[in-house]
Amino acid sequence: MAFLSYGPVARFRAEENAVKDTPDDPLAALRTLLGDAHVLTGGDVEKFARDWTGKWRADPLAVVRPANTAEVSQVVKLAAAFDLSIVPVGGNTGLVGGTSNTGALMISLERMTTIRDIRPAAGLAVVEGGAILSDIHAAVEAQDMFFPLTFGARGSARVGGFLSTNAGGSNVVRYGPTRGLVLGIEVVLADGRILDLMSELRKDNSGYDLRDLFIGGEGTLGIITAAVLRLVPKPRHHAAALVAVRDLPASLRLLRALQSATDGAVEAFEYMPRSYMTALATHRPDLRQPFAVHDHCVMIDLGGLSRPLGDVMEAVLEAGVESGDVLDAMVAQNEAQRRLIWDMREAAAEITFTRLPIVDNDVALPLDAVAQFIDDMHAGLATLDPGADTLIVAHLGDGNVHLTVYPTDDGQLDAIREMIEGVTVSLGGSISAEHGIGLSKLTTMTRRKDPVALDVMRAIKTALDPDNRMNPGKVIPERTGGAGTPPT
Amino acid sequence: MAFLSYGPVARFRAEENAVKDTPDDPLAALRTLLGDAHVLTGGDVEKFARDWTGKWRADPLAVVRPANTAEVSQVVKLAAAFDLSIVPVGGNTGLVGGTSNTGALMISLERMTTIRDIRPAAGLAVVEGGAILSDIHAAVEAQDMFFPLTFGARGSARVGGFLSTNAGGSNVVRYGPTRGLVLGIEVVLADGRILDLMSELRKDNSGYDLRDLFIGGEGTLGIITAAVLRLVPKPRHHAAALVAVRDLPASLRLLRALQSATDGAVEAFEYMPRSYMTALATHRPDLRQPFAVHDHCVMIDLGGLSRPLGDVMEAVLEAGVESGDVLDAMVAQNEAQRRLIWDMREAAAEITFTRLPIVDNDVALPLDAVAQFIDDMHAGLATLDPGADTLIVAHLGDGNVHLTVYPTDDGQLDAIREMIEGVTVSLGGSISAEHGIGLSKLTTMTRRKDPVALDVMRAIKTALDPDNRMNPGKVIPERTGGAGTPPT
């Protein structure tokens, strides 16, 4: 997937701005550039080598840790001189094999963690590419502001990683997808040049929208080394609840009623049906569930500025009880109970990857097609592998369903995957809502993405990275298809 | 700016999917393809030839009116065969010369106006590229939904035009910029292929974000022939006011107080200082102003779902009176008064273009830098042309300032433009917030945009339109700079 071949040293020496008097060995050159302590090899790369899910491995030439954007640029130029591939790595909590490689130079921004500026009056924060999401949360909340992007891995996910992945999370229902939460970025391109898109503006209409190519580019077009993040006022009042509902349509009615009653203050609306709550009871008995497992359950969090929302929550839930949509409910009475409800939802990742083999899906559907998707998927599964288990948890407010299938054996893996893809696409859905493509969805991209769209992506990739040096082999399948079938 | 030369007919005949038995004359070929009634020449092109501001002219070979996306595709292929440039045109209400051309084939989507589908439960509408914005508003509001994008030209602006322009408008403070209001698009590419990005999803992470390249691409990368628009629930309660305030910082305090008191229900927050209100009194005496002209004035509209907001508005304004931030105020008591306040704001375009010469600017600034911008700009102007008049109106909630300078003569036009650019960029602003680049800002792009960003734009343009056929000469300045200085 990556290419390790030593380019002619003459080419490197001629390179503009390159380090002088460099040895013929890339590792020696990197050590000269960054210092020995920041060129990791052997056992030192282990924490970058194995991804979080255990499905993907990296066997890089080295992991380097530049101190600033200028050093990232120099590393990229040096990699070009030695004809090395480059794979940027953040917190290594991605789910699609996005950092898997053999022989590439991995670039970690873990030394570039500075939160450079927080300006509440302008509603923005300026951060370096290695800053950790939860550190950003803490810093801006100390100034009574809020950066809405959040997900389970926030304690390790870094700016460059979660933006390159276009990570989504639980607050999209209120604050919109990730691209709308980013005002500007700085990128080191494949030729080492630094692209300055550090806009501090909500509206900026000066030429093509380059920013949103790199967000979600999974490191295949450049390395995001800094960003300007959009902040919103920190909600002052929260109201969280765990609610058993009659069925999925009842959930959507409840969502609409809450949106209407709170002027859109629904911060999270997460679907956790029987399969999820049962697995939660097994794997996390410490998270004590307030009522028996029902077929359909949602967790809700409201966030308001102007008024406490507990009364509104209770009034809407009471109306739901009367209409028969709500079967049982627990409204958090304090922050500890609210945290418990969130912990139940955020245990999803650890619960999901407990068994093998699995077919994990991260699909998005139009809101009015989610119930049909689940029905059709179960029908398909009953034919292919009636003994298979499923686990569903969904950002229901966004139509984003995380569906995991545990087949009875390895034989049906691809048939199940293809069936789920087919159901998704037939309902107008997407084969990736927020996890991205990486290596794991390349076959799916070949099968399901508009071929013209794939061609346009290839044209852009070639235009920006003609030597295919940046995270090669990810996101865009080979024209022949078939590459990158996941090992599982 | 455009190229008219007849390519070899053999190439056209070999073109895949091309019309057979075509004459050697492009107009004859187009008439065969679309019918005589839909290939306009001579006097019939007049309404497309002169843009709204009167600053830019088009002298096209012809204007064609395809009936559907397949015909758009065939027209583009035919244009390639005859080596014609292509300039798409919508309502022709742009402000930057985006459709100006000589000898190009203009494509109007005015026959493609169907609103194909409105699905409130999924929060979306599917529309053709020629649909008019105000028609979309009316259709979705009839189903109790709301498409938030709005601006003065909504009665003529068409989907393909306002998306290609990345038009902004008055509701960005609440609902965000245009890209966040579009779920999917369909595009005819430079080679005539149809790119299907008609996603119906809020979250879709399946490869590069191609959609947002074409939105704001100003027709230089392809023609937007259809779109999936994101709808929100229609606000049930409005509260509008015209408010005289002490100064700009007082305006921003008022904005924050209203956001906080209404959970972000501020739909519009428009700054209309003395220069604007005075011009309004002169040009639109029919719009009777409720109080004397003050130095600083804002118009406000709140939109709520759960509760009437008049009381909240009055409470916040009363607190403003007590603190001295608010000097006078008129709260609309009925829809007619609310409409009057909006008409005062939306008269901006007709007021602005009443005199020549002008230097019109559409800059965006970080919110905390708007006051400094106005001070610095006036200081610069006092040196360059002390007799010059200015007119300011701003989407203050977005930091988007429309600043028009009327110099005493033509001699200082570019010096004034350059001074304003300099002030804008020194404060972290953008030289275009929402009008785009077209021809009018090419020199400014050369002077002020990151050269690396310009190179990346050129690489993408070349990758997607290697023959430079789509709206050539717009958005991206020539590498040597200097092209496209506006005539004024």
Q: What does the pLDDT look like over B376-401, one tens digit per residue? A: 999 999 999 999 999 999 999 999 99
Q: Do domains B9-108 and B115-232 have the same CATH topology?
A: no
**Span A414-423, average pLDDT:** 96
**pLDDT tens digits for B284-320?**
999 999 999 999 999 999 999 999 999 999 999 999 9
Level-2 CATH architecture, domain A355-435: 2-Layer Sandwich (3.30)
Considering only the beta carbons, identify the residue of B166, B256, B366 that sits closest to A205.
Answer: B166
pLDDT at B11 > cutoff 70: no
Please state which of the ranges A184-193, A437-446, B186-195 shows the lowest mean pLDDT.
A437-446
Q: What is the pLDDT of residue A18?
A: 46
- Torsion sign, CA atoms B256, B262, B264, B266: negative
Q: What is the pLDDT of residue A93?
A: 85
Chain centroid offset of residue B292 CA: 32
Residues of A within 8 A of B210 (CB-CB) are 453, 456-457, 460
Q: What is the pLDDT of residue A55?
A: 80
CA distance B366 to chain A (A): 6
- Beta-strand ranges (E) seen in B6-164 are 39-40, 58-59, 62-64, 86-89, 101-102, 105-108, 115-119, 124-128, 145-146
Tell me the C-alpha distance between A384 and B209, whole Å. Answer: 34
Residues of A within 8 A of B432 (CB-CB) are 204-206
Q: What is the pLDDT of residue B22?
A: 53
Cβ within 8 Å, pair A260-B399:
no
Q: What is the pLDDT of residue A466?
A: 98
B331: amino acid identity, one letter = V
Considering only the beta carbons, identify the residue of A180, A445, A459 that sits closest to B464.
Answer: A459
CA distance B322 to chain A (A): 20
Return the closest-CA partner of residue B203 out of A257, A399, A275, A33.
Answer: A399
Burial letters for A72-97: b for 16+ Cβ neighbours within 10 Å, e otherwise?
A: bbbbbbbbbbbbbbbbbbbbbbbbbb
Tell me the C-alpha distance between A417 and A356, whole Å. Answer: 15
**Other residues' Cβ atoms within 10 Å of the Cβ of residue A42:** 7
Q: Could you tell me which residue, B485 or A319, shows the higher pLDDT?
A: A319
pLDDT at B9 > cutoff 50: no
**Span A376-388, average pLDDT:** 97
**pLDDT tens digits for B131-142?**
999 999 999 999
A432 contacts B205 by C-beta, under 8 angstroms: yes
DSSP-based helix, strand, coil % in chain B, nearest 5 = 40, 25, 40
A115-233 placed in CATH 3.30.465.10: yes
| Greatest CA separation for chain B | 79
B115-232 placed in CATH 3.30.465.10: yes
B237-350 placed in CATH 1.10.1610.10: no
The hierarchical CATH code for the domain A9-108 is 3.30.43.10
Q: What is the dihedral of CA B212, B216, B220, B224, to 10 degrees?
A: 70
Considering only the beta carbons, identify the residue of B217, B312, B463 that sits closest to A460.
Answer: B463
pLDDT at A16 > cutoff 60: no
Return the closest-CA partner of residue B351 out of B273, B268, B420, B282.
Answer: B282
Examine residue B472 and say whether the peptide bond preceding it is cis (omega within 30 degrees of 0).
no
Tell me the C-alpha distance between B72 and B50, whole Å. Answer: 23
Cβ within 8 Å, pair A398-B202:
yes
Cβ within 8 Å, pair B196-A450:
yes
Number of Cβ pairs closer than 8 Å across A and B? 277
Q: What is the pLDDT of residue A8?
A: 34
CA distance B235 to chain A (A): 9
CA angle B244, B247, B249 (to 5 degrees): 120
Tell me the pLDDT band of A9, cut-offs 50, 70 and 90: very low
Q: What is the pLDDT of residue A17?
A: 45
Q: What is the pLDDT of residue B480?
A: 61
Residues of A within 8 A of B453 (CB-CB) are 195-197, 207, 210
**pLDDT tens digits for B88-111?**
999 988 889 999 999 999 999 999
CA distance A452 to chain B (A): 6
Domains in chain A: boundaries? 9-108, 115-233, 237-350, 355-435
Cβ within 8 Å, pair A203-B305:
no
The CA-atom distances, in angstroms, between B202 and each of A111, B144, B181, B387 are: 34, 20, 9, 51
CA distance A475 to chain B (A): 6
pLDDT at A301 > cutoff 50: yes
Q: What is the pLDDT of residue B53?
A: 74
**pLDDT tens digits for B314-370?**
999 999 999 999 999 999 999 999 999 999 999 998 899 888 899 999 999 999 999
Tell me the C-alpha distance between B471 and B438, whole Å. Answer: 9
**Other residues' Cβ atoms within 10 Å of the Cβ of residue B46:** 11
Cβ within 8 Å, pair A206-B432:
yes
**Residue A223 DSSP SS3:** strand
**pLDDT tens digits for B171-182?**
999 999 999 999
Cβ within 8 Å, pair B202-A434:
no
Considering only the beta carbons, identify the residue of B205, B261, B459 that sits closest to A432.
Answer: B205
**Span A266-281, average pLDDT:** 97
